[in-house]
């Protein structure tokens, strides 16, 4: 009976404040969508780290014809000779370096051209590039990619080596951009969440004011605090949960149709998060919505609906 009564009160309250309830739904929807977007970006970063860090290598580029520049004194003698190449190979196999290396391969200039042509298949630049313009390189897989500095120190001063590049650092740059983007999303989300809290508080205040006659009588006849306050709290919570469900649906749609349907098709060699992975964000968003509404309504009711 009491449950039916409370449900009836909630229904009445939602109907009476329909426009405010809709605005609460929309604000929580937008704010939680931003929270979800930040979550998706973080998931994507984790996913890409797992995918790429196994594959990244430290590349030791050898000197080519065109690299006789003052910035690389090790290339002063012109392109790397076979002797220099042998020297690097033996260094890679020496015990001092070998313990940090799982494996290494040599990419010759024709190999480099082949890879280059694959990577830029659609670009006209391919036709103007020849094998001797591209550096040959040793591709080193590290036991621990963090120990890149050891390879760098060993080889950057070796004659015939133009430069040592840690591919991970290239990725780090990408990840830092994505991190910044997710921070921006979190920032916007925080602002919107503040907005949502204030709006929920205002809605509940209005609702409590428009029903002050009822609540006054309820107090007099000895209705418990729960019976008086619960309908107001639940009104806010229901609106926020609807917003959270909409936000979850939106990020799922983005993951399904933009990430999986478009990005993953366009960039087949990159690991993207799947729509089902994104769904684990949904409960988090809903819980966040409930907390949001519950907290702000409890604070408001303490002030405006004393029992």
Structure letter (DSSP) for residue 68:
-
Measured from the CB atom, the residue of 150 and 298 that comes closer to another protein is 298
Residue burial 162-196, b: 16+ Cβ < 10 Å; e: rest:
bbbbbbbeebeeebeeeeeebeebbebbeebbeeb
Measured from the CB atom, the residue of 111 and 214 that comes closer to another protein is 214
The contacts of residue 219 (CB under 8 Å, 6+ apart) are 228, 307
CB of 304 to another protein, least distance (A): 16
Measured from the CB atom, the residue of 59 and 218 that comes closer to another protein is 218
Tell me how far CA of residue 136 lies from CA of 113, 116, 245, in angstroms. 9, 12, 54
CB of 287 to another protein, least distance (A): 27
Alpha carbon of residue 43 to chain centroid: 5
For 274, the token pair is 């799947």
Residue 50 Rama label (left phi>0; alpha psi -120 to 50; beta): alpha
Q: DSSP of 261-287, one letter per residue?
A: IIIHHH-TTS----HHHHTTHHHHHHH
CB of 212 to another protein, least distance (A): 11
CB of 223 to another protein, least distance (A): 4
- Burial of 139 from C-beta contacts in 10 A (0-12 / 13-18 / 19+): middle
Measured from the CB atom, the residue of 188 and 218 that comes closer to another protein is 218
Residue among 276, 294, 129, 73 at smallest CA distance from 204: 294
Measured from the CB atom, the residue of 2 and 303 that comes closer to another protein is 2
Measured from the CB atom, the residue of 173 and 306 that comes closer to another protein is 306
Backbone CA torsion sign across 67, 68, 71, 74: positive
Measured from the CB atom, the residue of 40 and 230 that comes closer to another protein is 230
Unique residue bearing structure tokens 């916007």 = 188
CB of 211 to another protein, least distance (A): 10
Task: Identify the three-state secondary structure at position 267.
Answer: coil
Task: Identify the three-state secondary structure at position 58.
Answer: strand
Measured from the CB atom, the residue of 132 and 214 that comes closer to another protein is 214
Structure letter (DSSP) for residue 75:
G
What residue ranges bind another protein (CB under 8 A)? 1-2, 5, 213-214, 216-225, 227-228, 307
For 130, the token pair is 């020849």
- Cα separation, 192 vs 299, in Å, equals 19
């Amino acid at each position: 009976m009491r449950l039916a009564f409370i449900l009836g009160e909630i229904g009445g309250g939602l109907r009476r404040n329909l426009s405010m309830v809709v605005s609460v739904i929309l604000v929580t929807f937008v704010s939680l969508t931003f929270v979800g977007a930040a979550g998706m970006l973080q998931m994507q970063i984790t996913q890409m780290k797992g995918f790429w860090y196994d594959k990244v290598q430290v590349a030791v580029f050898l000197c080519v014809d065109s690299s006789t520049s003052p910035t690389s004194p090790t290339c002063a003698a012109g392109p790397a000779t076979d002797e220099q190449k042998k020297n690097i190979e033996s260094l890679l196999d020496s015990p001092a370096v070998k313990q940090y290396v799982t494996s290494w391969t040599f990419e010759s200039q024709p190999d480099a051209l082949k890879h280059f042509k694959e990577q830029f298949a659609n670009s006209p630049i391919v036709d103007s590039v020849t094998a001797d313009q591209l550096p040959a390189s040793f591709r080193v897989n590290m036991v621990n990619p963090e120990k890149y500095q050891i390879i760098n120190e060993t080889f950057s001063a070796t004659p015939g080596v133009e430069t040592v590049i840690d591919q991970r650092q290239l990725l780090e740059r990408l990840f830092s951009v994505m991190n910044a983007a997710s921070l921006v999303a979190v920032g916007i989300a925080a602002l919107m969440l503040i907005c949502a809290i204030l709006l929920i508080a205002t809605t509940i205040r209005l609702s409590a004011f428009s029903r002050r006659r009822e609540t006054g009588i309820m107090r007099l006849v000895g209705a418990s605090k729960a019976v008086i306050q619960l309908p107001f709290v639940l009104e806010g919570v229901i609106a926020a949960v609807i917003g959270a469900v909409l936000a979850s649906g939106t990020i799922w749609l983005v993951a399904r149709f933009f990430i999986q349907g478009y990005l993953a098709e366009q960039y087949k060699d990159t690991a993207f998060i799947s729509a089902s992975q994104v769904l684990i964000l949904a409960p988090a968003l809903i819980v966040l919505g409930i907390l949001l509404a519950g907290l702000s309504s409890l604070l408001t009711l303490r002030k405006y609906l004393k029992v």
